Chains A and B, each alone.
Chain A
Amino acid sequence: MIEFQNVTRTYGDRVAVAGLTLTLPEGELFAMLGPNGAGKTTTIKMLVGLLRPTSGRVFVNGCDVARHPREAAQCIGYIPDEPFLYDKLSGREFLEFVAQMRGLDRRTRTARIDREVACFDLGGFFDDLTETYSHGMKQRLVFAAALLHDPQVLVIDEPMVGLDPRSVRLAKDVLCARARAGTAVFMSTHILSMAEEIADRLCVLDRGRVNFLGTLSALQHELALPRTSLEPLFLKLTANGDGEAGPPQQSGPSLTGAAEPIEGPG
């Protein structure tokens, strides 16, 4: 459902993502991990069409994102780390706009909006202007907007920021349910416990390169630390990624020998 083909993205002379090759089948819940500046947000922005790869190609549902951004966007539901909402629209008006832009007809639109309102418990503030919402309320509305059109691919950048414990549980359940229903869920997060709990596969990105790609048990096996939680594994894996020691270990391909860690835009 998602395919990165030897994707590299540079900012000036610096390499943000180096030769990323990755495939996600439908129904997989995939977590991308990495320290700050590892290239996670850049990867996600290339996936949703905001950035173009310097080289390589990104496909969503068989569609080249750079060449056919509309078709790709129609397959994707995107929840950014700092979601945008129109201050002067109510939650209902915002969802209606998104549904219209997704090409949903009036009847489907109403049904889907009702469904998401119920799912994310938006009823209490749905007709208020979004400028009055708390961060958690905004995040729930953005989840609802991303799921309105039942996307085949769900892309989430730091999904749990600002959510209360109940909403976090709800979001995790929704992501798992969507993945079970066949949606490919691509998630970037710093919350290792959540990745450990719900992700089918992990990718640890460091300095733009894939340090590890596989399941948790494969990681435990690779580092010879059976029955260890993800946090110590992650810290061990990225120990060289703080700019203090030598180059990171690498299991994925890379284009340049000396990629530097950088912070992508946003």
Chain B
Amino acid sequence: MNATYSAANPPRYGHLPSMTDESRAFQQLSFRIARTLLRQTFSQAWFRLSLVMLLSAILWGGLLWLFYDGFQFLKTTIPLSDTRDQAVRALLHMFFASLTVMLVFSSAIILYSSLFRSRETAFLLTLPARTERIFLHKFQNAVIFSSWGFLLLGSPVLLAYGLSVSAPWYYFLVLPPFMVAFIYLPSAIGGIFCLLLVYYVPRHRLFVACVAAAVSTGIAFWMFWSLASNPDGDMLTLPWFQELLGRLRYSDQRLMPSWWLSSGLLEAARGQWAESLLFLALIVSNAMLLRQLALWTAARTYRVAYSALCGLESSRRQARVVWLDEAIVRYARFLPLQIRLLIVKDLRLFRRDPVQWSQFLIFFGLLVFYFSNVRRFSHDIQYVGWVNMVSFMNVSVVGLLLSTFNTRFIFPMVSLEGSRFWVLGLLPVRRETILWSKFLFAATASMIPSSVLILLSDLMLEVRAPILASHQLTCVLLSVGLAGIAVGLGAKLPNLREQSPSRIAAGFGGTLNLVISTLYIVLIVLLTALPCHFYFALNGYVTLAAANTHWGRYFYLWLTLGTVLSILLAALATVAPLRMGFRAFRRLEF
């Protein structure tokens, strides 16, 4: 028994599947899984599906309208067709170049988790499947997962452009192949990057990936600053556009796929079929080449990289007591000890799971970046009404972020206690105490960052003190109300079978929580924003027909009424779901 077999005694491997058989098997696998998922979604999660479709359609339609309006604006602002075409080409090129970078990273991240961290690949690697076939299977899934955002954002831009210039039918016909072929380019680059990273530097993969991300972000910021710094002359005028185009010249890189895409589609819009087809052929051939290169890389590196990654010593993580935990237990004496301990437990679970907080850190980081730049955009527009509107929009955005946070992390908390209820259930703790602890945890965790963010935004916008106070009150009301809704609904509609918080959040209860939270945010913001708007109208800062009417003059009445109503609404949104949740949680059998 050893490696050397003679001709008379050949090893018996059995019949290995051909490439066609393998391909068919994987196609059937994907088809069957997709079919079951669709069937289940239509029969069990129709509400969520309808909601997602509706919201996506609204978003898509809104974007189409926005971009169409933008292109119409360009048409009127830049009458010279050559300059206008240059501007559109540069804008499309920049837009798709940014999306390309994002797609590279998103597909690399998705492929990393699906190739190296999923149990499916461990199973597939023990079958006699070709390594590149396994990669291709996961790669195609990654392309689909990472490209929906691209399609959702990219398709309305391109459709709007076609409609605004009354492009021929040919433009709309070549749009899908252009986009699909284009998606393959960054996805394949992301795949190759992911494979080579784990193959060559398995131990330092995170560091290298972070450096690459930091460099990309740095370049993006540099480009952004160079564009956002005020050019001479009035904004959105012909000279302004011409100067902007001058600044964009450096991005006129003809070797970049985003340039091919924008040029190909512009040619199609002009009716230049042959030129457009040339660019399409260029993108398709490069997509095929990169896909093949990715497969070739996978065949040579994937198994070795997988083994190398598995072979890394798993570092033992030591639990450390953080000052915050100590502070809560020691100094928050106004709360019963059991509630303090439960809050610290939830805080530790949340803190020690990066998946839980990393995406929100990114969101909040982006918001901080946006808020810190709000003043830059408003610098030239000394328009109090506009500032007021932007400040309330910021409150709404923070509210929506909080509702997502509550749906994703707070709503599933009660369901997740199901599997560990043998701990809490056997302790001398009233069930209400458990829910109170989660409510306080959620409300505090929401209140602190949202209040700070809104304070930052208001300071940047230089809003007046009463408005600032009103915003802070709104933040408190939003945090408390959203926490009440999430904890109450989480206890009323638990999913005790599911272990994944994201799946619990994606179910019926989570979707309902998101809808109710959104309605709540809209109502609260309207109740506090409208009186302020009336105030500005009354003082002549904004034009509003209602301001001159009898009712419009009673600003303080409106303000008081709006504030009282918003407080009442917040109380209702907090108490009603919590009472319902308490009742359901008391009766719940685990």
Contacts and interface: CB of A to CB of B under 8 A. Distances in A.
Interface of A: 1-3, 9-14, 23, 25, 45, 48-52, 54, 57, 59, 61-64, 69-71, 73-76, 78, 80, 82-84, 86, 88-89, 93, 96-98, 100-104, 129, 149, 152, 262-263, 265-266
B123 A11 contact: no
B25 A59 contact: no
Contacts of B24: 100
Closest 4 CB pairs of A and B: A12-B313, A100-B25, A103-B17, A84-B123
A20 B44 CA distance: 52
A12 B314 CA distance: 9
A191 to B, nearest CB: 23
Nearest to B123: A84
A9 B311 contact: yes
B129 A265 contact: no
Given A73-B128, A89-B36, A50 B307 contact: yes
B274 to A, nearest CB: 45
Given A14-B313, A69-B303, A97-B25, 16 more contacts: A9-B311, A49-B126, A49-B303, A52-B308, A52-B311, A62-B4, A63-B11, A70-B130, A71-B11, A73-B127, A76-B126, A83-B123, A84-B123, A103-B17, A265-B310, A265-B311
11 contacts: A23-B1, A52-B304, A52-B308, A61-B12, A61-B13, A64-B3, A69-B131, A74-B13, A84-B119, A103-B16, A265-B310
A5 to B, nearest CB: 8
Contacts of B462: none
Contacts of B314: 11, 263, 265
B14 interface: yes
Contact of A10 (B131, B303, B311): B311
A61 B11 contact: yes
B36 A50 contact: no
Given A62-B3, A100-B17, A86 B33 contact: yes
B21 A100 contact: yes
Contact of A62 (B1, B29, B123, B311): B1
Contacts of B304: 52
B126 A73 contact: yes
B56 interface: no
Interface string B293-320: 0000000000110111011111000000
B45 to A, nearest CB: 14
A154 to B, nearest CB: 12
Given A50-B307, A88-B33, A89-B33, A152 B126 contact: no
B119 A89 contact: no
A101 B25 contact: yes
Nearest to B133: A101
B306 to A, nearest CB: 7
Interface in B103-136: 119-120, 122-123, 125-131
Nearest to A96: B28
B128 A103 contact: yes
B119 to A, nearest CB: 4
A11 B128 contact: no
Most B CB within 10 A of own CB, among A3, A14, A62, A98: A62
Interface in B13-52: 13-18, 21-22, 24-25, 28-29, 32-33, 36-37, 40
Contact of A51 (B13, B129, B307): B307
Nearest to A45: B310
Contacts of A50: 122, 125-126, 306-307, 310
Most A CB within 10 A of own CB, among B5, B15, B25, B311: B311
Nearest to A129: B36
Given A48-B126, A61-B13, A1 B1 contact: yes
A98 B128 contact: no
Nearest to A108: B15
B106 to A, nearest CB: 24
A59 B11 CA distance: 11
A84 B313 contact: no
A101 B129 contact: yes
B81 interface: no
A100 B28 contact: yes
Contact of B17 (A51, A54, A71, A101): A101
Nearest to B11: A62
B191 to A, nearest CB: 20
A70 B14 CA distance: 11
A133 to B, nearest CB: 13
Nearest to B18: A103
Contact of B129 (A70, A96, A262, A266): A70
Contacts of A149: 14
A259 B314 CA distance: 16
Contact of A152 (B5, B12, B22, B32): B12
A144 to B, nearest CB: 15
Given A50-B310, A84-B119, A103-B16, A62 B5 contact: yes
B564 to A, nearest CB: 50
A2 B2 CA distance: 9
A50 B311 CA distance: 10
A176 B68 CA distance: 72
A48 B307 CA distance: 12
Contacts of B313: 11-14, 262
Nearest to B25: A100
Contact of B120 (A2, A48, A70, A84): A84
Interface in B265-311: 303-304, 306-308, 310-311
A133 B125 CA distance: 24
Contacts of B122: 50, 80, 84, 266
A52 B313 CA distance: 15
A90 to B, nearest CB: 9
A103 B21 contact: yes
Contacts of A9: 311
A75 B308 CA distance: 24
A69 to B, nearest CB: 6
B310 A74 contact: no
Contacts of B126: 48-50, 73, 76, 78, 80
A260 to B, nearest CB: 11
A86 B119 CA distance: 10
A63 B13 contact: yes
Contacts of A83: 123
Nearest to B313: A12
Contacts of B120: 84, 86
B3 A74 contact: no
A49 B128 CA distance: 10
Contacts of A59: 1-3
A88 B127 contact: no
A62 B14 contact: no
Most B CB within 10 A of own CB, among A9, A14, A52, A80: A52
A57 B4 CA distance: 13
A265 B129 CA distance: 23
